[in-house]
Each structure stands twice: as C-alpha cells, then as structure tokens.
Amino acid sequence: MKLEIKDLYAGIDGKAIIKGANLSMKEGEVHVIMGPNGSGKTTLAKTIFGYPSVKVTQGDVLVDGKSILGLTTDKRAALGLFLGFQYPVEIEGVGFVNFLRASKEAVSQSQANMKELMKDIKVWSGELKMDDSIIGRALNKGLSGGEKKKAEILQMILQRPKIAILDEPDSGLDIDAIKVVAENINKAIEETGVGMLVITHYNRILSYMHPQHVHIMVNGKIVADGSKELIEKLEKEGYESFDHR
C-alpha cells in the first residue's frame, strides 16, 4: 500500500491550517513527523481520515494512486489505514470488546471469532503491560492518559492495518511505558509489515525505533524531509531554523 499526500491545503471554519503538505510512504516503512505545537500535525492526520469539519481546499490524498477524499471515514479505514489518536475519545457505555468486535467485523467484512479476539486481547494487553480489566470497561472510560495510549496501540495491533498513523503515541507515557509501546510497535512492524507514520515531539521513543524517514512540519507545511540526522539538527537548533515563513 502506498499513501501519498500531494500539495494538500486544508482548513477548519475557513481558517487555513494545512498549507501545501507533501508526503509519500509505503507499507513496511517507518516515517516520523515532528513539528511545533499547532503546526498542523493532528489536523493532517484528521484530514487523511476525513474528519468532518476539516475542508480540503486544494491537493489530494491518494492510496495506491487513487484519491480517497471522496470516501467516508470508515471506508478509508477499510482500505487498511489506522489512526492512533493524540487524544483518544471516551465513549459512554460502548464496551471495549464490542467496539473491537465491531471494528474487526467492519474491516474484515466477516463475523469475528470472539474466542480468538478475546485471546488476542489478553495476549497483547499482556505484552503492553496493561491491566486487562480494560476488557470489561467502556471505551477509554476512566483510563489514565498513558493507559489510553496503550489501548490505541492495542487496537492498532488487533486491527492489522497496512499503514498506521500514530499521533503522539508517547505523550503522557512514563519512561518504562515508552519502551514497552515502542517495542510493541516494532513487533507489529516485524510481524505484519505495517507502515508507520509516527507523530512525536520526543527523541526518546525514536531511540527504540528505526525510522527511515523524518519529516519536519512547520506552519502547515512539510518543510524538511530527511533521515534520522534531521532529528539531531532539530535537537541542536530547534524549529526556528526550519521556519522560513
């Protein structure tokens, strides 16, 4: 699978937020986007998924050469895209297991094997060092910030996407948890060959991962593409040297 963002302009309520973003990635690749607060990283991820109030004014988002902008959010996910949220939503009364089942059935277009699903949940929540009481709970309800992030990774693993966009999977995690999450992301890449687009502010999670491509986003634009060395430059100079407004 190939995901391309081509000269994309998008905004909310008439306010331009994404201003000419370009990015291309394939299954199996690990990409990182870094950028200052408010630069539009989350909005870019939401645009890829068709968030209702984001309006694309120019450019395109393509999967395997075909535009996905005309598809509803669920259809985009069905192509094999996954979005790990920066702020996972708490949903009253919707059970975590039933939610997972519904999403699995929707993506695979077949009835889920409950026994297998329950087993997978147990195995992977164990790997992620999560309390498996999450199983009997409502979706994200009452989970701590870090637990919510782990639950996103758990969902990503269970859904087996082809390309996953993880929006700050490390924010709010303690030092040990960051390592656990990174290891599990790596495992998913190894086992399923999923492509990753990781949005982050911190080097720590990247030290456990092997990103081949690093993109810097400033003011709605990808202003630099490169390899891991870009991160070193960033650490030294901050975002200012990338901001050519």
Partner 1 sequence: MIDQSKFVEEALNEYHRLPEEGDSLYIRRFAPLGLDIDKYGSGRSDGKEDKVRKFYEELRENTGMSFDATVWESGCIVKDGNPAIRLVKFGDNEYGKAISNKLFRSGDDKYVAMLHATAKQALVIDIKDGMSADLKVLFAVVGGSLPMQVFVNLGKNARLGLFEWHASDCAKPCFSGTVRELRLQEGAACDISVLHNENANTTVLEHTKGTTSEGGSSTINFIYTGGNAVRARNSIEASGRESMVRVGELAISSKRQKFDLNTYVVNAAGGSEARLSSAAVAMQESTCYLKGFAVITNGSKDARSFVEEKGLLLDGMAKINSIPSMSIGENAVKATHSSAIGPIDQDSMFYLTSRGISAETAKRLMVLGFFSGPISGIRSGLVKEVVSSVISGKIRSNGEFGELPKLNAENVIWEGSREAGIEQHYKYRTEK
Ligand X SMILES: Nc1ncnc2c1ncn2[C@@H]1O[C@H](COP(=O)(O)OP(=O)(O)OP(=O)(O)O)[C@@H](O)[C@H]1O
Binding site for ligand X (CB under 6 A): 12-13, 15, 17, 35, 37-43, 53, 86
43 near Mg ion (CB under 5 A):
no
**What does the block give as tokens for 170?**
């490390």
Question: Can you point out the beta strands (E) in 37-147?
Answer: 54-63, 66-67, 81-84
Which one of partner 1, Mg ion, ligand X, none interacts with residue 93, CB within 5 to 8 A by kind? partner 1
Nearest-approach distance from CB 156 to partner 1, in angstroms: 10
Q: CA-based Rg of the chain, rounded to a whole angstrom?
A: 18
- Side-chain-side CA neighbours of 69 within 13 Å: the count stands at 19
Which one of partner 1, ligand X, Mg ion, none interacts with residue 91, CB within 5 to 8 A by kind? partner 1
Binding string to partner 1 for residues 155 to 184, with x set by CB under 8 A, is what? x---x-------------------------
Cβ proximity to ligand X: between 13 and 240 the closer is 13
Contact 154, 128 (CB under 8 A): yes
How many other CB atoms are found less than 10 A from the CB of residue 93?
8
How many other CB atoms are found less than 10 A from the CB of residue 91?
13
Which one of partner 1, ligand X, Mg ion, none interacts with residue 188, CB within 5 to 8 A by kind? none
Rounded Cα distance between 212 and 30, Å, is 6
The helix or strand, by DSSP H or E, that contains position 198, with its residue range, turns out to be: strand 195-199
Nearest-approach distance from CB 68 to ligand X, in angstroms: 19
Tokens 């080097």 locate to 203
Using CB under 8 A, list all residues that contact partner 1: 46, 49, 51-53, 72-74, 76-78, 82-83, 85, 88-89, 91-95, 97-99, 101-103, 106-107, 114, 118, 132-133, 135-136, 138, 155, 159
